[in-house]
Each structure stands twice: as structure tokens, then as C-alpha cells.
Amino acid sequence: MRYFGYSLHEAEEMTLREYTYMMHVYNLKRVDKERDIHMTAFLNHAVTATKQVGKKQVPVYKTFKDFYDYEKEMNRVLKPYQKDSKLKQLILQANSL
């Protein structure tokens, strides 16, 4: 009940199989959350990285875009949905009949 937000009545009606699946999903979510926390810690360290240029230490990343290119990532994720694939063309043809 504590992990899933179920009432006592809902918990009593849950089968062992449902409970097992719910715990499995809960544990997977915890692992994902831990990964996100560790990634944040790693990136906090990486963003402060410096390199030697002559006798000076300069930041590896001069701008946020050097560190993370948001537009590039958005385009990478959205690209499959923007392409005119053969399947999309066939669906459009079928819908226009």
C-alpha cells in the first residue's frame, strides 16, 4: 500500500501475481531514479571540467550548448515522426480513396 497508493480494500483484492508485477515495476522505477541521480552527479562534475591551454586552465564547455545541444536532441527524437516514409505515403493514399 505504501508504494502503490492503494487503499486497504484494493490491497486485499490484489492477487499475488498482481503484487509481484507491481513490486517488479516499482523496483525498476527505483533503479531508473537512482540512475538519474547518478547521471546528475556525473554531469555536475563533467560540466566543471577544464583543460590546459598554454599555462591556463580553461573550461572544456564554454556555453551550455557545447555541453548539451537541446535542439539537436529534439530533432533526433522528432525526426522519425517527421519523415515521409513509404508506409506513411501508403496510409495517406489509402485514406484519400
Each residue's pLDDT tens digit, 21-56:
989 999 999 999 999 999 999 999 999 999 999 999
The band of 82, judged by pLDDT with boundaries at 50, 70 and 90, is low
54 Rama sector, left if φ>0, alpha if ψ -120 to 50, beta otherwise:
left
Model pLDDT, residue 81:
67
The band of 79, judged by pLDDT with boundaries at 50, 70 and 90, is confident
Quote the percentage of the chain above a pLDDT of 70.
88
Buried b (16+ CB within 10 A) or exposed e, 71-96: eeeeeeeeeeeeeeeeeeeeeeeeee
Model pLDDT, residue 65:
93
Each residue's pLDDT tens digit, 55-66:
999 999 999 999
User: In the chain, where are the structural domains located?
Assistant: 1-46, 51-97
